[in-house]
Amino acid sequence: MSDFPYLDRIHSPAEVRALDRGELPKLADELRRFLIESVSKTGGHLSSNLGTVELTVALHHVFSIPEDRVVWDVGHQTYSHKILTGRREAMANLRHYGGISGFPRRSESEYDAFGTAHSSTSISAALAMAVAARDRGEPHAAIAVIGDGAMSAGMAFEALNNAGNMKDINLLVILNDNEMSISPPVGALSGILARLLTPYDAARRLGKKVLDGAPPPVLGLARKMEEVAKGMVAPNSPGTLFEEFGFHYFGPVDGHDLDVLVPTLQGMRGFKGPRFLHVITRKGQGYKLAEADPVRYHGVSKFNHRTGLQEESTGTKPTYTQVFGDWLCDAAARDPRVIAITPAMGEGSGLTRFAREFPERYYDVGIAEQHALTFAAGLACEGYRPVVAIYSTFLQRAYDQLIHDIALQNLPVLLAIDRAGLAGADGATHHGAFDLSFLACIPNMLVMAPSDENECHQMLTTALAHNGPSAVRYPRGKGPGVTPETGLNALPIGKGEIRRRGREIALLAFGSLLAPALEAAETLDATVANMRFVKPLDETLVTALAREHSLIVTLEENAAIGGAGSEIARVLDALPERPRLLRLGLPDRFIDHGEQRQLLAETGLDAEGIISAIRQTEKNSTPHT
């Protein structure tokens, strides 16, 4: 007999819609068990997916998906959605090389209405889909499922502002309120939501105490009265935040109670105009370990689902993230002007220790990258030394603020850019493939890429002492294992170094690709330069190497177009006699997910790929006889 008799019957949302309402809790229970077992074998996002099981079941039961569009904000809570839309077997290769993505992808399934992975885009996309349905005369609904953390971003409120006056659209925004993003919530919005819930929660606790042991008919009547009472609490008053935006507000409702969720969604489906449903869920619901520590179980590696023990990484080498976190604490102890800023990525960016030791100098500004950079600019104006810890892929969201508010004013803001290059299993939406390209073209910027842990430590010190904007970009995970030195020792700005002397071929490596460059050089008998600085470039070193070698090869874990190799080409173009140039970097396409070593090999940036590319270049340049 199958362990999942209901899941075995589900191959598309049509089968979910065909179930009786009384069968839905059984389906939800099976989904939750399957999720825990499946993610324990593959790794992935766990807490967020356990928290949305019932909501996902209810949406697929009530709405006609894919005709009704559902846009999942961020998208790391869509595993149940994938399972209910024919991808259950594919979960065995979730986030693995060649397998399905951990996020919604339009190219993966017709049931994924919009590709997401960065926060706070869902309301904008769903609004557009609702407008399109209206203009085509179609009755279909557009639904945005957005978390309370994502609601802190300005883009979400821009969309609410746009939607509020459109009374003829079929738009439903569902706020999945679990009091968490990746980190605990911050800011005024979380307080507003908490105040909305306080009278409801107090009344519910009192009701449970009074009705404890009451007969079923009385409990059934109490449930109906509870739903009426919710509407009498603050949410339906005209002064609530979302009502003021022009939305009809409903809730809060229990996001784990299908007897409440389903009739609520069925009732709201018949409404027109912008509607807002406030749903209360719990991250990690149904798995005690994840409920107790939703941050730890937000993104997990493979683990024993019975004990909750995750596979330990081998070795004792610190990650680049840990190197940064320790450096920042040392820097703050020496300099009271040092301030740490993060856009809701405190744990991921290595700021846990700093937040504990220097709470008065730690600012988690929520999912608000634009604000984070301009906030840093303002602090720099007042004499502080702000350090913004941010992932490369999220820095893209604040490009105008970087140019206009920081670089144009030449302010000493340090960008500690984590997850630069290929980020691994999170895939195309999270690879830091473009930062060297979009940073190097900005005036006043100091841009560095460390090749090992000690160099990362030195570059951070160099950047902090620099009287202007600076960026240190480092990869995800561990480096080659060079122990960072004690103290704060800076590097001479704009100076690279020769790491190996060879003949004919010179490999100019930027950051993480120094290790494969050195490996390839042993086979090629090539010179290897650790360039260190993308801006300012060590033009003296480049010129010297150009005079001594017939082939210059640039290596970077960044888009080849517009990257560090382009800067080398600019220098070589000015020489009266220039050697041949081969620029190796990430190709002009979005790279899928997989282990970093697999992706480096796929893109030809491991030692074997470097050797192959150089030999092919030499073969092509050999004159035919």
Planar angle of CA 187, 191, 197, nearest 5 degrees: 150
Q: Is 369 a catalytic residue?
A: yes
Output helix, strand, coil percentages for the chain, rounded to the nearest 5.
Answer: 45, 15, 40
Q: Is 167 a catalytic residue?
A: no
**Residue 470: φ, ψ to 5°:** -145, 160
Q: How many angstroms separate the CA atoms of 448 and 455, rounded?
A: 10
Task: Give the contacts of 619 (CB within 8 A, at least 6 positions apart).
Answer: none
Q: How many angstroms separate the CA atoms of 583 and 538, rounded?
A: 17
Q: How many angstroms separate the CA atoms of 544 and 555, rounded?
A: 18
Q: Is 397 a catalytic residue?
A: yes
Strand partners, 364: 342
* Catalytic-labelled residue, pool 361, 385, 397, 478: 397
Q: Which of 269, 279, 293 has its CA nearest to residue 200?
A: 279
Q: What SS3 class is residue 263?
A: helix
Check residue 616 and give left, alpha or beta (phi > 0: left; psi -120 to 50: alpha): alpha
Task: Give the contacts of 58 (CB within 8 A, at least 6 positions apart).
Answer: 24, 258, 261, 262, 265
* Catalytic-labelled residue, pool 82, 105, 283, 478: 283
* Catalytic-labelled residue, pool 347, 369, 453, 556: 369
Q: Which of 415, 26, 527 has its CA nearest to residue 258?
A: 26
Please give the span between the terminal C-alpha atoms of the chain, in angstroms, as a whole number.
73
User: Are 409 and 455 in contact, with CB atoms under 8 Å apart?
Assistant: no
Helix axes 564-573, 539-548, angle to 10 degrees: 70
Residues marked as catalytic: 283, 369, 397
